[in-house]
């Protein structure tokens, strides 16, 4: 009994101690790495600060790229929380320049990490390249820096981005977001849809619908049950639905894009005579 009391007493003291030390550390971030698991793709060094760019992927790739940005003060090595950054990706082609769809940059759950995404429509090549202009505040001064970035074709060679003209003569960019790790299950599916207003301006397209018809061309073009079409979410600005994958292998996710009136802007039904839509994503797992 004495031993038991001792154990309880020890436990109590230990617990209280942990609780106290937690309180004391409330305003100090200890042992939390806000960019844990991400690859640092770039470090753009300026005189008194450094801009860091992180991604879940090891390269910037054609398609949807979710990026995290931090700005480090070189004097005290602290990351700033009042930078209010904006960005503009730009591709310099032989005969013209254009931007690509990009979200705003927002503070994440950590106030020193700014998150957003860019959809690159094209990869760089020997004569054509991308750069990224960043505007932000550092110590009360407005900064603007432009740096070269490298955009590659994804290694798997699968189509996850579609740039096309709809039956309404509008240019659209549709990019696959999720599932990044597909499973034999009913997967949450996400995509982003932008239209090309001009070379520099790509507004989010709201309230359209993307019909989903996944097929396995290698297996009699069979489908899967319980898919849910992608519907626009005004809060997140993503299109969300469900993607049913009944086995591993190569899947062609046939798509149809419908405007708010239900007019088909791009894509066709899959039938015996028509094995695939002209609008699609590809997955292999």
Residues lying near Cu ion in the complex (CB under 5 A) are found at 91, 93, 122
Using DSSP's 3-state secondary structure scheme, residue 24 falls into helix
| Cβ proximity to Cu ion, 123 vs 204, nearer residue | 123
| Cβ proximity to Cu ion, 41 vs 91, nearer residue | 91
Listing DSSP states for 53-93 in one string gives EEESSSSEESEEEEEEEEEEETTT-PBPS----EEEEEEE-
Maximum separation of any 2 CA atoms in the chain, in Å: 86
Kindly state the smallest distance separating residue 101's Cβ from Cu ion, in Å: 13
d(CA 152, CA 116): 19
Q: Which two tokens stand for residue 121?
A: 């429509």
d(CA 141, CA 82): 11
d(CA 201, CA 203): 6
User: Is 280 exposed, middle or buried (CB count within 10 Å of its CB: 0-12, 13-18, 19+)?
Assistant: buried
Kindly state the smallest distance separating residue 98's Cβ from Cu ion, in Å: 6
| Cβ proximity to Cu ion, 91 vs 255, nearer residue | 91
| Cβ proximity to Cu ion, 73 vs 128, nearer residue | 128
State the Rg of the chain over Cα: 24
| Cβ proximity to Cu ion, 93 vs 184, nearer residue | 93
Check if the beta carbon of residue 19 is closer than 8 Å to that of residue 1.
Answer: no
| Cβ proximity to Cu ion, 80 vs 122, nearer residue | 122
Kindly state the smallest distance separating residue 124's Cβ from Cu ion, in Å: 9
Q: Which H or E run contains 14?
A: helix 2-24
Kindly state the smallest distance separating residue 130's Cβ from Cu ion, in Å: 8
Kindly state the smallest distance separating residue 128's Cβ from Cu ion, in Å: 6
| Cβ proximity to Cu ion, 126 vs 141, nearer residue | 126
Kindly state the smallest distance separating residue 202's Cβ from Cu ion, in Å: 13
Instruction: Kindly tell me the sign of the dihedral angle through the C-alpha atoms of 143, 148, 150, 151.
Output: positive
Check if the beta carbon of residue 256 is closer than 8 Å to that of residue 162.
Answer: no
């Amino acid at each position: 009994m004495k031993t038991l009391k001792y154990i309880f007493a020890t436990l109590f003291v230990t617990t209280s101690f942990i609780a106290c030390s937690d309180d004391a550390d409330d305003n100090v971030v200890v042992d939390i790495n806000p960019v844990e698991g991400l690859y640092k793709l770039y470090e753009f060094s300026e005189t008194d600060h450094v801009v860091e760019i992180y991604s879940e992927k090891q390269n910037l790739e054609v398609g949807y790229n979710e990026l995290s940005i931090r700005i480090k003060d070189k004097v005290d090595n602290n990351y700033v929380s009042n930078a209010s950054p904006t960005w503009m990706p730009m591709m310099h082609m032989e005969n013209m320049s254009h931007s690509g769809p990009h979200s705003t940059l927002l503070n994440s759950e950590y106030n020193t990490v700014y998150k957003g995404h860019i959809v690159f429509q094209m990869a760089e090549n020997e004569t054509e390249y991308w750069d990224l202009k960043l505007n932000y505040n550092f110590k009360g001064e407005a900064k603007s820096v432009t740096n070269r970035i490298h955009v590659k074709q994804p290694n798997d060679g699968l189509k996850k981005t579609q740039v096309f003209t709809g039956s309404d003569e509008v240019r659209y960019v549709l990019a696959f977001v999720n599932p990044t790790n597909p499973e034999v299950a009913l997967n949450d599916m996400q995509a982003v849809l932008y239209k090309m207003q001009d070379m520099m301006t790509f507004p989010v397209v709201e309230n359209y619908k993307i019909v989903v018809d996944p097929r396995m061309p290698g297996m009699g073009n069979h489908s899967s049950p319980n898919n849910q079409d992608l519907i626009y979410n005004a809060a997140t600005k993503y299109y969300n639905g469900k993607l049913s994958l009944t086995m591993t292998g190569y899947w062609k996710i046939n798509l149809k894009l419908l405007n708010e009136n239900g007019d088909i802007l791009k894509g066709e039904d899959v039938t015996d005579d028509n094995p695939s839509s002209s609008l699609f994503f590809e997955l292999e797992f």
